[in-house]
Amino acid sequence: MDERSVEQRLADLERIDAIKALKYRYWRACDGKDPDAFRSCFVSSGASIDFGPLGRFDDADRLTDIFRRIALHEVDGKHVILDMHHGFHPDIVLHSDTEASGAWTLKFRQVDLLKRTETVSSGEYDDAYRLEDGVWRMSRCHFTTRWSITRPLPQDTVVVQ
């Protein structure tokens, strides 16, 4: 039997919901090409970030710079990298009122209009979260690709933005 009070269990559920909302905010910022919202999802300093081939970082500022350069790149006033992040299967573990960890599955799709390719991939996040200034933020975000397919876009492909 769970010895925690109803109030404590409710507070834990609220913390888990806030952490889920953080991760969803992060993916919306990625797809919405919003670097400020993207950066705000991480702790103010000292985040451990590992995105494999994209790089390893000890702070979210460098990753945000890369995000700006790639996600916001435009040709003729239109973005050339189009992303879609679908995250699911959250497994959030609370370690205290201010620390938690989590695992997520990601289905990712990217259209690269410069290379004329589409990439579909699946992977796993290993995250840690910290309550900072009353807001949950990621202090660790490690992503491992499980599989990926990249294929050329057919010549008659029409992309509308």
Q: Per-residue pLDDT tens, the chain, 161 aa: give them.
A: 778 899 999 999 999 999 999 999 999 999 999 999 999 999 999 999 999 988 999 999 999 999 999 999 999 999 999 999 999 999 999 999 999 999 999 999 999 999 999 999 999 999 999 999 999 999 999 999 999 999 999 999 999 99
DSSP lists the bridge partners of residue 47 as: none
- On the CB side of 131, CA atoms within 13 Å amount to 12
DSSP lists the bridge partners of residue 143 as: 125
Asked if residues 79 and 156 have their Cβ atoms less than 8 Å apart, the reply is no
Q: Residue 128 carries which side chain, given as an amino acid letter?
A: A
Identify the H or E element spanning 142. Answer: strand 135-152
Residue 4 DSSP code = S
* Prediction pTM value: 0.94
Domains within the chain, CATH numbers bracketed: 6-152 (3.10.450.50)
